[in-house]
Structure 1
Amino acid sequence: MPSNETRTRPDEIAAPKLLTVVGRSYFPIAFVARLPYAMVVIGVLTLVVAGRDSLSLGGINSAMVGLGTAIFGSFIGAAADRWGQRPVLLTVGLLNSIALIFMAWVVFSPLPDAVVLIAAFAIGATAPQVAPMSRSRLVEIIMTRLAGPRQQKTLNGTMAYESAADEFVFVFGPFIVGLLATTLHPVAPIIGAVIMTVVFVTAFALHPTGRAQHGHTSTQPRSQAPAKELFTFGVFVVVLGVFGIGLVFGSTLTALTSLTNDLGRPEEAGIIYGIMGIGSAILAITVALFSPRYALWARLLSFAPLMLIGAVIMASSTSMVTVVIALLLMGCAVGPTLVTLFSLAAERSPLGRSATVMSMAGSAIIVGQSVASAVNGILAEEAGTSAAMAVPMAASALVLVAGLLNLIVGENARKRDLVHS
Structure 2
Amino acid sequence: MAITPSTDISPAPAVKGGRYSVLPRLAGTGYIPLGLFARVPLAMQTIGVLTMVTGVSASYAVGGFAAGCVGVGAAVGAPVIGFLADRLGQKRVLLVLAVVNALLLAAVVLLSYTILPAGGNGPADGGTLAVMAAALLVGATSPQVGPLSRVRWMALSRKLPAKEQGPAVDTALSLEGTADEVTFVLGPALVGLLASLVAPWLPLVIAAAMTAVLVSLFAVHHTVEAVGPRAAASTVGNAGYVAKEKPNWFLVAVPVAGMLAMGTFFGSSQTALTAFTGVHGSVDQAGLMYAIMGLSSAFTALSVAYWPEKFNYTWRWVVIAGLMAAGSVMFLVPESLGQMGWVLLLMGLPVGPVMVSIFSVGSVVAPQQWMGTVMTALSSGIVAGTALGSAVSGALAQSSGYYAAFLVPIAAASTLFVLGLVSVVVLRRRTAR
Residues 151, 264 of structure 1: alpha-carbon distance in 2 compared, 3 angstrom cutoff? same
Q: Which residue of 1 aligns with 2:5?
A: none
Pairing 1:220-299 to 2, within 5 Å after superposition: 222-223=233-234, 232-264=249-281, 266-299=283-316
Q: Distance in 2 between matches of 1:270 and 1:401?
A: 29
Q: Which residue of 2 aligns with 1:92?
A: 97
TM-superposition CA deviations, 1:347-372 (whole Å, max 9, x none): 22222322211111112212222221
Structure 1 residue 323, shift from structure 2 partner: 4.2
Structure 1 residue 393, shift from structure 2 partner: 1.0
Residues 252, 229 of structure 1: alpha-carbon distance in 2 compared, 3 angstrom cutoff? farther
Deviates more, 1:193-202 or 1:62-71: 62-71
Could you list the runs of 5+ residues in structure 2 that have no partner in the other structure? 1-12, 116-125, 238-244
Aligned partners of 2:184 and 2:291 also within 8 Å: no
Deviates more, 1:367-376 or 1:304-313: 367-376
Does 1:168 pair with 2:179?
no
2:74 paired residue among 69, 72, 89: 69
Residues 312, 340 of structure 1: alpha-carbon distance in 2 compared, 3 angstrom cutoff? same
1:23 paired residue among 22, 28, 40: 28
2:152 paired residue among 133, 137, 146: 137
Counterpart of 1:125, as a letter, is: A
Residues 41, 48 of structure 1: alpha-carbon distance in 2 compared, 3 angstrom cutoff? same
TM-superposition CA deviations, 1:153-190 (whole Å, max 9, x none): 43333222211111121243122112222222222112
Does 1:40 pair with 2:57?
no
Counterpart of 1:362, as a letter, is: S
Deviates more, 1:312-321 or 1:169-178: 312-321
Residues 196, 283 of structure 1: alpha-carbon distance in 2 compared, 3 angstrom cutoff? same
Does 1:183 pair with 2:200?
no
Q: Distance in 1 between matches of 2:429 and 2:57?
A: 52
TM-superposition CA deviations, 1:324-344 (whole Å, max 9, x none): 454333222111110011111
Q: Which residue of 2 aligns with 1:5?
A: none
Q: Which residue of 2 aligns with 1:198?
A: 212
Residues 317, 410 of structure 1: alpha-carbon distance in 2 compared, 3 angstrom cutoff? same
Does 1:120 pair with 2:135?
yes
Q: Distance in 2 between matches of 1:291 and 1:59?
A: 40
Residues 117, 21 of structure 1: alpha-carbon distance in 2 compared, 3 angstrom cutoff? same
Structure 1 residue 277, shift from structure 2 partner: 1.7
Residues 272, 112 of structure 1: alpha-carbon distance in 2 compared, 3 angstrom cutoff? closer
Counterpart of 1:103, as a letter, is: V
Q: Distance in 2 between matches of 1:415 and 1:315?
A: 42
Counterpart of 1:69, as a letter, is: A
2:423 paired residue among 406, 409, 412: 406
Q: Distance in 1 between matches of 2:14 and 2:134?
A: 53
Q: Distance in 1 between matches of 2:148 and 2:71?
A: 18
Deviates more, 1:229-238 or 1:299-308: 229-238
Residues 386, 341 of structure 1: alpha-carbon distance in 2 compared, 3 angstrom cutoff? same
Provide the TM-score with structure 1 as the length reference: 0.87
Deviates more, 1:101-110 or 1:398-407: 101-110
1:106 paired residue among 111, 120, 139: 111
Residues 9, 241 of structure 1: alpha-carbon distance in 2 compared, 3 angstrom cutoff? closer
SS at match of 1:15: coil
Residues 314, 220 of structure 1: alpha-carbon distance in 2 compared, 3 angstrom cutoff? closer
Q: Distance in 1 between matches of 2:172 and 2:325?
A: 26
Deviates more, 1:244-253 or 1:308-317: 308-317
Structure 1 residue 191, shift from structure 2 partner: 1.3
Provide the TM-score with structure 2 as the length reference: 0.85
SS at match of 1:128: coil
Structure 1 residue 133, shift from structure 2 partner: 0.9
TM-superposition CA deviations, 1:78-109 (whole Å, max 9, x none): 22223322122122222212221222222233
Q: Which residue of 2 aligns with 1:146?
A: 160
Q: Distance in 1 between matches of 2:274 and 2:127?
A: 28
Counterpart of 1:48, as a letter, is: V
Residues 97, 394 of structure 1: alpha-carbon distance in 2 compared, 3 angstrom cutoff? same
Aligned partners of 1:233 and 1:409 also within 8 Å: no
Q: Distance in 2 between matches of 1:411 and 1:17?
A: 31
Counterpart of 2:375, as a letter, is: M
SS at match of 2:311: coil
Give the superposed CA RMSD: 2.7
Deviates more, 1:23-32 or 1:40-49: 40-49
Q: Distance in 2 between matches of 1:387 and 1:294?
A: 36
SS at match of 2:396: helix
Deviates more, 1:329-338 or 1:28-37: 329-338
Higher helix share: 1
TM-superposition CA deviations, 1:264-298 (whole Å, max 9, x none): 35454333323322221111111111233321111
